[in-house]
Amino acid sequence: MWSVVWAAVRSKAPYITFPVAFVVGLVGSQLERLLRGDPPAAPHDEKSISEQREERKLQEIAGEDMTKVVSLKDKLEFAPRAVLNRNRPEKS
């Protein structure tokens, strides 16, 4: 007789465990909310990190004249320095 009971329990296990797990989770969630209290409301005007970064960059370049740049002819080095300067000819 026990083998029939265990076979029935094994075959119906998902139908039994899901409602039990759901009720346990619901009770635990409500208990945690009761003990901790309601979370503070998040401000709605909070900006993302990328938006903050873009605003900071715009503020940094706001006072600069963007037309004054160093020409490529005036720059001394165009490419990054090679290891031990082996691949670059000496400048005179």
The answer to whether residues 88 and 82 touch, using CB atoms and an 8 Å cutoff, is: yes
**Rounded mean pLDDT, 76-81:** 60
Is the pLDDT reported for residue 73 higher than 80?
no
**Rounded mean pLDDT, 63-77:** 75
The answer to whether residues 72 and 78 touch, using CB atoms and an 8 Å cutoff, is: yes
45: tokens are 């005007």
- Chain centre to alpha carbon of residue 83: 36
Whole-model pTM: value is: 0.37
User: What per-residue confidence (pLDDT) applies to 64?
Assistant: 81
61: tokens are 């370049």
Instruction: Give residue 68's pLDDT band: very low, low, confident or very high (50, 70, 90).
Output: confident
Scored b (16 or more CB within 10 A) or e, 36-64 reads: eeeeeeeeeeeeeeeeeeeeeeeeeeeee
Least confident segment among 15-24, 26-35, 75-84: 75-84
